[in-house]
Amino acid sequence: MKITEIRSHVLQYDLDEELGYSQQYYTKRTAHLVEVRTDEGITGWGECFGGGGIALANKTIVEQVIQPMIIGMNPLDRDVIWHKAYNLMRDHGQKGMPIQSLSGVDIALWDIAGKYYNQPVYQLLGGAFREEIPVYGYGMMLQRVPDLKERFKTDSAQIVEAGFKATKMKIGLGVKEDIELVETVRDAVGPDFQVMVDANHAYTTREAMTLGHEFEKMGIYWFEEPVAPEDHQGYRDLCEALVLNIAGGEAEFTSFGFRDLIKNRCVDILQPEVCALGGITEYQKIIAMARAHFVPVVNHVWGSAVAVGTNMHLLAALPDFPGAAHPVQPMLEYDTTPNRFREELLQKPLNIQERVKQSGGTIPIPTGPGLGVDPDPDFVRHFEVN
Ligand SMILES: [Mg+2]
């Protein structure tokens, strides 16, 4: 089998309402899908992390840089292809956009392999450790509205009502404002519901320390990206000073990048983003390091149904470490803010929200060959902007 063509599809539409996080607000929803075609008629799908102009630039990397490097190669040679593309791009970017671009291609190769062997991808990864995956409902994004606290109150209550096992909210408005926001959500969901907060690296270590002590009093489960991803010392200081879990990893890339984060115990919970860090091939190497250092993993998930579906396979195949009769199960992160690329993209929708509601917070692992994330071609054409 040979790779014959790699096409990148950037999809976009205008959101009804602006959404934001600690770094910016945005009005367009983007998804960047990668389609790898073969001479045997098998097509694989993947996704690259990064919206807006980043997606358009990554499209050029996928089609103009990576495609010529690997065209004609056997798509089943995933590790060989990964190393060839990485080695040729190394001098031009060991993190960031080249690696995001490679991620989408690599994920599509795993989809091809699953379809070729007629097996779900989690089977190729070593099998399923669980039949059901617990799901947490992420919501409460920042908005420039006067009634933000009211909205967070309503949204978090809806996430509890929808059946999710836990919830996550954005912060990053300032120390005082964040404490009030988190208190609002804690009051809305009650004292026992698991709540996580995500600062998207808006703070200095000292500010994060102050916030962390307050979050501990409120029983917050994890504090995500408190400081800049490059600030390993800041991460370590927070882990040592605070009792609550420090989480991070979504802005780290490849096993080379994750090596120091894991080895230096910078996080209590590692959040690898498969659509950014280099794809499933590299994710496996990162998981092996996390396992050897006993660092729990809860994947970062963001994007279209392709990203969500991919992570369902990864979470099915993620071992419990250290292992026990009643282990804490890794959760699927599920964004609950409006996203047509999550709800309407696939020929066979994932129906996560309905399944969560029915089961009381879990979804069954996928069935069928590959990743099970084939997009509806008419939908792709309609929203494609390139
Ligand atoms: Mg985050």
Is 189 in the same domain as 326? yes
Q: Say which residues have a Cβ less than 8 Å from residue 361's Cβ, sequence separation at least 6.
A: 134, 135, 163, 164, 165
Asked, for residue 188, whether it belongs to a domain, the answer is yes
pLDDT in tens, the chain (386 residues): 999 999 999 999 999 999 999 999 999 999 999 999 999 999 999 999 999 999 999 999 999 999 999 999 999 999 999 999 999 999 999 999 999 999 999 999 999 999 999 999 999 999 999 999 999 999 999 999 999 999 999 999 999 999 999 999 999 999 999 999 999 999 999 999 999 999 999 999 999 999 999 999 999 999 999 999 999 999 999 999 999 999 999 999 999 999 999 999 999 999 999 999 999 999 999 999 999 999 999 999 999 999 999 999 999 999 988 888 888 889 999 999 999 999 999 999 999 999 999 999 999 999 999 999 999 999 999 999 97
Ligand 1: centre distance to CA 249 (Å): 9
Asked, for residue 371, whether it belongs to a domain, the answer is no
Three-class DSSP labels, the chain: CCEEEEEEEEEEEEEEEEEEECCEEEEEEEEEEEEEEECCCCEEEEEECCCHHHHHHHHHHHHHHHHHHHCCCCCCCHHHHHHHHHHHHHHHCCCCHHHHHHHHHHHHHHHHHHHHHCCEHHHHCCCCCCCEEEEEEECCCECCCCCHHHHHHHHHHHHHHCCCCEEEEECCCCHHHHHHHHHHHHHHHCCCCEEEEECCCCCCHHHHHHHHHHHHHCCCCEEECCCCCCCHHHHHHHHHHCCCEEEECCCCCHHHHHHHHHHCCCCCEECCCHHHHCCHHHHHHHHHHHHHCCCCECCCCCCCHHHHHHHHHHHHCCCCCCCCCCCCCCCEEEECCCCHHHHCCECCCCCHHHHHHHHCCEEECCCCCECCCCECHHHHHHHECC
Length of the chain: 386
Is 78 in the same domain as 210? no
Is 47 in the same domain as 140? no
Is 151 in the same domain as 36? no
Is 110 in the same domain as 130? no
Asked, for residue 370, whether it belongs to a domain, the answer is no
Count of other CB atoms within 10 angstroms of residue 127: 11
Is 197 in the same domain as 277? yes
Is 174 in the same domain as 279? yes
Ligand 1: centre distance to CA 230 (Å): 15
Is 296 in the same domain as 156? yes
Ligand 1: centre distance to CA 336 (Å): 14
Is 18 in the same domain as 150? no
When divided into structural domains, the chain yields a total of 2
* Residues carrying an active site annotation: 300
Predicted confidence at residue 325, as pLDDT, reads 86
Asked, for residue 214, whether it belongs to a domain, the answer is yes
Is 84 in the same domain as 137? no
Q: What is the CATH number of the domain that holds 65?
A: 3.30.390.10
Q: Does the N-terminal peptide bond of residue 272 adopt cis geometry, omega within 30 degrees of 0?
A: no
Domain with 294 in it: 122-364
Predicted confidence at residue 321, as pLDDT, reads 83
Predicted confidence at residue 386, as pLDDT, reads 73
Ligand 1: centre distance to CA 200 (Å): 6
Asked, for residue 139, whether it belongs to a domain, the answer is yes
Predicted confidence at residue 355, as pLDDT, reads 97
pTM to 2 decimal places:
0.98
Asked, for residue 252, whether it belongs to a domain, the answer is yes
Asked, for residue 127, whether it belongs to a domain, the answer is yes
Is 104 in the same domain as 229? no
Predicted confidence at residue 9, as pLDDT, reads 98
Ligand 1: centre distance to CA 172 (Å): 12
Q: What is the CATH number of the domain that holds 320?
A: 3.20.20.120
Asked, for residue 282, whether it belongs to a domain, the answer is yes
CA gap 9, 32 in Å, rounded:
6
Is 93 in the same domain as 137? no
